[in-house]
Amino acid sequence: MSTSNAVQEINRELARRLVEEARSNPQSAYAGKLVGIANGQVVAVADNWDELARRVRQAEPDPRKTFLIEVDRDYDKVEHIWGLR
């Protein structure tokens, strides 16, 4: 596994734990927030994407070592693209 893949796995696992924490504890600092992770650590918490992206890029210029999450978002929900391809 390459270094960036390994970092991605660690980042995703941390994101999963943050989501679990926010779901079980609405008082969590991450509830309702956008969270930026780099190299297995939370490096930014923000209320909008512009601010989050700026701070994450500052912390880690290589996007492959970063991961962002909208903590309250249900990413398993199916979203439809009705147009034809």
Partner 1 sequence: MPRALWPLLHHRPVVQVILALAQGGQPLVRNLLADTGAGTAQGAFELLLEETDCLLCGGLPLPGVVLGGAYTGTYPIYLVRVRVPILGVDHDLPAVGVPAGPAGFDGIACFRFLNRFSYGNFADPGQFGLET
Question: Can you tell me which of 2, 27, 47, 79 binds partner 1, judged by CB under 8 A?
Answer: 79
In whole angstroms, give the CA distance from residue 49 to residue 34: 7
If one asks whether residue 21 binds partner 1 (CB under 8 A), the answer comes out as no
Question: What is the spatial distance between Cα 85 and Cα 68, in angstroms, rounded to a whole number?
Answer: 29
**Of 47 and 85, CB closest to partner 1:** 85
- For residues 24 and 48, which CB has a smaller minimum distance to partner 1 in the complex? 48
Residue 23 touching partner 1 (CB under 8 A)? no
Identity at 34, one-letter amino acid code: L
Q: Which DSSP letter does residue 66 get? A: E
